A and B are shown apart, each in its own frame.
Chain A
Amino acid sequence: MSLLDRTRTVLDQAVDVYRGTELGGRLAGMRERLDAPLRVALAGRVKAGKSTLLNALVGERLAPTGTGECTRIVTWYQDGTAYQVRALPLQGPPRPLRFTREDGVIDVDLGGLAAEDVGQLVVTWPARALRTVTLIDTPGIGSLSERTVARTWDLLVPDDEETPADAVVYLLRHLHAGDVEFLRAFHDTEVARPSPVNAIGVLSRADEIGVGRLDSMASARRIAARLGTDANVRRLVQSVVPVAGLLAETAVTLTEVEVARLRRIAALPVREAEDLLLSADRFVNTMPEVGLTTLEREALLGRFGLFGVRLTSTLLRRQVATTATGLSRELAERSGLTQLREIIGSLFLERRDVLKCRSALLALAETTRAYVRPGGDAVAAEVEELLASAHPFNELRVLSSLRAGWITGRPDVTAELERLIGGAGGSPCERLGLPPDAGPADQARTAAAALERWQRRAENPLTRYEMSVAATVAVRSCEGLLARLERTR
C-alpha cells in the first residue's frame, strides 16, 4: 500500500473518530487536500519580488506589482473552471468579489471590506501552471505596517496546527551572510521547524547584483552557489537559484510590439547603443532618431528594466534569438526562470505526495494530541507508526540530518548519499547521478553497484553509527530503485 493510500486510510479513520465535533470539518478538509494540487507559498522580505515571481511562474500578469508595497493580503492563486475572486473575511462567510483586469493585472474591488478585515483572497484562475500547484502570495516579512507582517506569520506559523503551505519558496535579496536581516528572512521557519525538505531559496532581483552589467546573471549564479553551501542557509533550504524576476515575468508575457521596439535599439551601432543605454535617464531622453516616444521607452524600462533592455537588444543584434517566441525562451533561460521551474519540478512536484502526506500527518498528530477522543489513541498510534517507518520520511530525515551537519563523512560520500536519497531530485537518473537519457540497463547497473557499496558501508564495523543508520536508508532507496526498474521492464 502506498504512503498516500495509508495516509488516506488514517485520515478516514480520524474523520470517523472526530465526527460530530468541531474538528470534523477540518479533518475532512485535510482529507480533500491530499488530492488537491501541492500548495507552494512565496515568502520573503518586503520588495523581494514575490508577486513578480508569482506572475512569472503562472505565465500571466495576475498579481499587482510596483514600486510601493503591493501585496497587503495573503492571496491564493488556484486552478478552477471559472474566473473568480473570493474574500475570506476574518469574521463571516466567504464572499465573492468583483474585479477588473487592467493590463492583465487583477484589480480587486474589496466591496466595502477593509483590507485589515480580510483574512485571505482566493483567486480561481484557469491556467495550466496552476493545475499542478496552488501558489500563495504573501505580504513581506519586515513590512512597515505591523498588521501585514502578522498575516505572513499566521500563514507560515499558524496558531492552529495545520500548515497552510506544503512547500515554501524563499526570496532572498543579496545580503551579507552574517547579516541579522538576512537570517531574519528565514525567521518564520524557526517555529515551524526549519526543514530543508520543503523549502528552496531564490536569490531574487538577480539583475541588480551587478547593477545591470551584461554579466550580472553570471555573478548572481556564483553568489547563489556560495549561498547554497553556507551552513546556515543549507539547513533551511535545499538549494538557492538566482532569478531576475522582472525579466522572468516579461519573458513569459512578451509581445510582438515590444520585440519590434527593441529591434530599433538593436539596429543602432554598438557604440551608439551603449551611449543610449548608459543610464535610464539617457535611454528615456536622448537620441530621438531611434523613433520611439518617451512613453514607449518608459514602458520598455518598466517591463524589462535597464538590464533587460541591454540584454535583449544585444541578443537581437547578435541574432541569438530573432522571433518573439525564440526571445521569450532565451529570456526565460537567462533570467533563471527555467532553472527555477526545473528545481520546483524535481524537488517539489515529484515529491508532492510525500510533502502532502507529511503536512497531513503532522497536522493529524497535533490534533490527536490536543483533542482527546475515544478511539483517538489508535489514530495517534497509526500516525506515529507511519511517520516513523515510511521510507520516504526516513529519506527526508536523513536529508535534513545531512543538511544540518549531523551526519558527517568524506565529502564525496555525503554528496552521493544526499543524491541517492533524493536530495537533488526524485527521478532514478537524478538519484543515480546519471544523464537524464540513460537507458534502463545503465540505471540498473549503477543502482546495483550503489546498493553493494552502501550495503558494505552499513555493515562495516568502522562506519560511524550515524553514517551506518543513514547507509541502511540509502540501501533501502537503492532497493526501491531496482524494484522500480524491474517493474517498468
Chain B
Amino acid sequence: MTESASQAVALVDLGLQACTAYDRPDAAARLAAARTALADPVTHVVVAGEFKQGKSSLVNALVGANVCTVDDDVATALPTYVRHGEKPEAILLADTGRDPIPLADVGKYVVEGTREARVTGVEVRIPRKLLAGGLVLVDTPGVGGLSSPHAAASLAAVSMADAVIFVTGAAQELTGSEVEFLRRARALCEVVICVLTKTDFYPAWRRVRELDEQHLAEHCPMPLLPVSSALRSRAIKVNDAALNAESGFTELVAFLTERIGGSAADRLAAGAVAEVAGLCDQLDAHFSAERAALADPAAAQRVVAELTAAKAQVEALKSAAAKWNQTLTDGVSDLMADIDHDLRTRVRAVLAEADTEIEAADPADTWPEMEPWLRSRLADELLTNYDLLRVRATELSERVGTHFLQASGGLLERLAVDDPARLATVDGFEHKIDLARMRVAKQAMVALKNAYGGALMFIILGSLVGVSLGPIGIGIGLVMGHRGLREEKKRQLQRRRAEARNAVRRYCDEVTFVAGKDSRDTLRRVQRQLRDHYSGLAEELNRSNAQALASASEAATRGRSDRDQRLKDVDAELARVRRLRERALAVLG
C-alpha cells in the first residue's frame, strides 16, 4: 500500500469514528464504501493492439507464466483478465454467472473458433507480486483495422480502463490505422503507453523505434518502450537478471507499478480523503450554528429561523421538483431523442453508401467483402454515436451537479454565516469549492463507467450477422455458355442486386433496433445513478441541517451555566473537526 493510501485509510477511520460519535450513519455508509475500495484497489490495464503483435506473449512474459494462449495461427478471441489470487485458478465469465474451469482449459475457450455464445471472458488468478497491488491485466482480441467491430469493442474497453498498453511489433513502423486508434484511445483514457515488441527478432528495430517515436510525437505524444517477451521469458526461466534488463521489461514493470498502479491508488486515496473533508464541512456547519446560538442568545432566534428556512430549502432540494432533478429528467429525455436521431441519421448514411456500392458492382462478386465492410462501417458509426452519448452524458452530469451545488452550496454557507473565524480561513474555503468540483466530475465518470454495460455489444453485433443472399442466383446453367448469355446475366444481376439491398436493409434495421435499445438503457442507468447519488446527498444535508436545528433550538432553551459548559464542549468539537479537516487537506496537498 502506498504512503498516501495508508494516510487515507487512517483518515477515513477517524472519519468513521466521527460518524459514530455524531450519529451520522448516512455519511458512515459512504465512508465505509471508500474504505473498502482503498483496501482492495483494482486497476485495469488493457493490453490492446493489432492482430499477431504479441499481446498475449507480453502478458505471459509480464507475469512469468503461460496464462494467455499463444499460437502462431489462431488469435485471441475473448478477453482474458489476469489478476492476483492466492492459488492459480481460472473462471469462465458468462452472462449467466461465473464457472470455475481447469487452468489447462483456458486456451480452449480463449482462442478463436471455440467460442461459445454468452461467454464474455475468462478470469485467471495467479499469485504474483506484480499483481498483488490490485493490478488486472486484460488481454484483448486484436483490433484488426481501426474501423472493425473489434476496434470498437477495444475502444469501449479502453474507455473503462485505468491505463492502456498498446502493443505494436518491430516488424514495421506504426500504420495509419494504429496511430488513429492510439489517438482515439488517448481521448478516452488518461494513461496510454506504446510498447514495441519482438525486438529480439528484428535487427532493424531501432530504426522502427525511431520512426514510431516520430509518428507518436507528431500525432499523440506518449512513451514508447521497446521489449522482447522471448528474452524476458527466458530470463525468468534461467533466472538471469542481466537478460531481464536486456529484455526491456524492467522499465515496463516499473512503469506499471509506479506510474499506473501508483497513480490509481493516489486517485482512490484522494477520493476517500475528499469524502472525509466533505463530512468535516457538514459537521463544521452544524457545530458553528450551535455555537452561534450558544454564544449570543439574542442571535439564537435568528439562527433557528435561518435553519428552519434552510430546512424548507433542503426539502425542496430533495423533492422531484428540485431544479437539479428537473435538469436531469429533461436532459435524459432530450438526450435519448438526440442519440436516437443521431443513430438513425448515421445508419441511413451507411445504407445509402451500401446502395451505391451494390449498384456499382455485382453482389455475387462483392458480397463476401460487403458483409465485413457493412459490419465495420456500422461499428464505426455506432462508436461515434456512443462517443456522442458519452460526451453529452458527462455534460449533463456536470450540469446536474452544478445545479445541485448552487442550491446546496448556498445552504452550507448560510449555515456558517455567523462564524467570523470560518470566513477568515479563505484557504479552506477555496478548497471546499475544489472538493465540490472534484466530486461532480468524479460522479460523472463513475456514473458512466458503471452505466455502460455494453462493452461487448459490438461483439454481440458480430453474431447478429445471419444475413445471407441465399444460394446466389448465378446457376451452373451459365457455366455452359450459349448465345443470349448476356441478357440472362443482366436479369440475374438485377435480381441479385435487389436481394442484396433487402438483406442490407434488414441487417441495418436489426442493428438500429439493438443499438437504440442499448443506448436508451445506458442513459436510464445514468439517470438512476445520478438521481440516487444526489438524492442521497440531499438526504445527508437534510440530516445535517436537522441536527443543527435541533442543537440550536436546544441551545436557546439552556440555562446560563449549562450554556457555558456546552459552549466549551462545542468549541472543543469544532477544534477537533477542523483539525481533521486540516489533516485531510494536507493529504490532498
Are A183 and B372 closer than 8 Å at their CB atoms? yes
Are B51 and A175 closer than 8 Å at their CB atoms? yes
Contact segment of B118-126, B473-481, B529-537, B572-580: B473-481
| Contacts of B243-287 to chain A: CB distance below 8 A | 246
A187, A235, A388: the one within 8 Å of B483 (CB): A388
B51, B54, B200, B475: the one within 8 Å of A280 (CB): B200
Alpha-carbon distance between A194 and B73 when the two chains are bound, in angstroms: 26
Contact segment of A119-127, A330-338, A464-472: A464-472
In the assembled complex, A178 has its CB within 8 A of some CB on chain B: yes
Are B373 and A211 closer than 8 Å at their CB atoms? no
In the assembled complex, B361 has its CB within 8 A of some CB on chain A: yes
Are A179 and B203 closer than 8 Å at their CB atoms? no
Please encode chain B, from 367 to 403, with 1 for each CB lying within 8 Å of some chain A CB and 0 for all others: 0110011001000000000000000000000000000
Please encode chain B, from 206 to 244, with 1 for each CB lying within 8 Å of some chain A CB and 0 for all others: 011000000000000000000010110010000000000
In the assembled complex, A11 has its CB within 8 A of some CB on chain B: no
In the assembled complex, A176 has its CB within 8 A of some CB on chain B: yes
Are B479 and A279 closer than 8 Å at their CB atoms? no
Chain B residues near A407: list those with CB within 8 A.
476
Alpha-carbon distance between A384 and B485 when the two chains are bound, in angstroms: 10
B72, B73, B228, B369: the one within 8 Å of A190 (CB): B369
Q: How far is the CB of B172 from chain A (nearest CB, A)?
A: 6
Are A175 and B52 closer than 8 Å at their CB atoms? yes
| Contacts of B343-374 to chain A: CB distance below 8 A | 361, 365-366, 368-369, 372-373
In the assembled complex, B201 has its CB within 8 A of some CB on chain A: yes
Known: A47-B172, A389-B481, A469-B479. A278 touches B200 (CB 8 A): yes
Are A302 and B372 closer than 8 Å at their CB atoms? no
Known: A180-B372, A219-B73. A211 touches B198 (CB 8 A): yes
Contact segment of A31-39, A76-84, A393-401: A393-401
Chain A binding surface, main DSSP class: helix
B172, B471, B482: the one within 8 Å of A388 (CB): B482
In the assembled complex, B202 has its CB within 8 A of some CB on chain A: yes
Are A406 and B372 closer than 8 Å at their CB atoms? no
Are A281 and B365 closer than 8 Å at their CB atoms? no
Are A209 and B72 closer than 8 Å at their CB atoms? yes
Q: How far is the CB of A216 from chain B (nearest CB, A)?
A: 8
Question: Chain B interface residue count: which class?
Answer: 35 or more
In the assembled complex, B145 has its CB within 8 A of some CB on chain A: yes
In the assembled complex, A174 has its CB within 8 A of some CB on chain B: yes
Q: How far is the CB of A418 from chain B (nearest CB, A)?
A: 14
Please indicate which of the listed interface residues B176, B373, B476 has the most CB atoms of chain A within 10 Å of its own CB.
B476
A67, A180, A280, A466: the one within 8 Å of B144 (CB): A180
Please encode chain A, from 196 to 234, with 1 for each CB lying within 8 Å of some chain B CB and 0 for all others: 000000000100111110001001101100100001100
Are A180 and B481 closer than 8 Å at their CB atoms? no
In the assembled complex, B56 has its CB within 8 A of some CB on chain A: no
In the assembled complex, B134 has its CB within 8 A of some CB on chain A: no
Are A180 and B476 closer than 8 Å at their CB atoms? no
Are B481 and A178 closer than 8 Å at their CB atoms? no
In the assembled complex, A451 has its CB within 8 A of some CB on chain B: no
Known: A466-B475, A469-B476. A211 touches B230 (CB 8 A): yes
| Contacts of B456-498 to chain A: CB distance below 8 A | 471-472, 474-477, 479-483, 485
Chain B residues near A179: list those with CB within 8 A.
51, 144-145, 148, 372
Are A469 and B480 closer than 8 Å at their CB atoms? yes
Chain B residues near A281: list those with CB within 8 A.
199-200, 246
Are B476 and A465 closer than 8 Å at their CB atoms? yes
Are B373 and A180 closer than 8 Å at their CB atoms? yes
Chain A residues near B144: list those with CB within 8 A.
175-176, 178-181
In the assembled complex, A193 has its CB within 8 A of some CB on chain B: yes
| Contacts of B414-468 to chain A: CB distance below 8 A | none
Chain B residues near A222: list those with CB within 8 A.
72-73
In the assembled complex, B204 has its CB within 8 A of some CB on chain A: yes
Alpha-carbon distance between A191 and B54 when the two chains are bound, in angstroms: 35
Q: How far is the CB of B373 from chain A (nearest CB, A)?
A: 7
Alpha-carbon distance between A63 and B51 when the two chains are bound, in angstroms: 30
Alpha-carbon distance between A469 and B411 when the two chains are bound, in angstroms: 89
Chain B residues near A388: list those with CB within 8 A.
480-483, 485
Chain B residue with Cβ nearest A407: B476
In the assembled complex, B164 has its CB within 8 A of some CB on chain A: no
Please encode chain A, from 277 to 314, with 1 for each CB lying within 8 Å of some chain B CB and 0 for all others: 01111101000000000000010011001110000000
Known: A144-B176, A193-B365. A280 touches B203 (CB 8 A): yes
In the assembled complex, A57 has its CB within 8 A of some CB on chain B: no
Are B52 and A174 closer than 8 Å at their CB atoms? yes
Q: How far is the CB of A136 from chain B (nearest CB, A)?
A: 23
Q: How far is the CB of B417 from chain A (nearest CB, A)?
A: 65
In the assembled complex, B168 has its CB within 8 A of some CB on chain A: no
B72, B246, B369: the one within 8 Å of A183 (CB): B369
Alpha-carbon distance between A438 and B361 when the two chains are bound, in angstroms: 46
Alpha-carbon distance between A469 and B477 when the two chains are bound, in angstroms: 8
Complex A-B: 8 CB contacts under 8 Å: A175-B144, A190-B365, A278-B234, A280-B203, A306-B201, A384-B483, A388-B481, A406-B479
Could you list which residues of chain B lie within 8 angstroms of chain A, going by C-beta atoms?
51-52, 54, 72-73, 75, 112, 142, 144-145, 147-148, 171-172, 176, 198-205, 207-208, 228, 230-231, 234, 246, 361, 365-366, 368-369, 372-373, 376, 471-472, 474-477, 479-483, 485
Lowest 6 CB-CB distances: which A-B pairs, in order? A388-B481, A279-B200, A466-B476, A219-B72, A280-B203, A301-B203
Could you list which residues of chain A lie within 8 angstroms of chain B, going by C-beta atoms?
47, 67, 144, 174-176, 178-181, 183-184, 186-187, 190-191, 193-194, 205, 208-212, 216, 219-220, 222-223, 226, 231-232, 235, 278-282, 284, 298, 301-302, 305-307, 384, 387-389, 393-394, 397-398, 401, 404, 406-407, 465-467, 469-470, 473
Given contacts A209-B73, A301-B203, A473-B480, 9 further A-B contacts (CB under 8 A): A175-B52, A180-B148, A223-B73, A280-B205, A388-B481, A406-B475, A406-B476, A466-B479, A469-B476
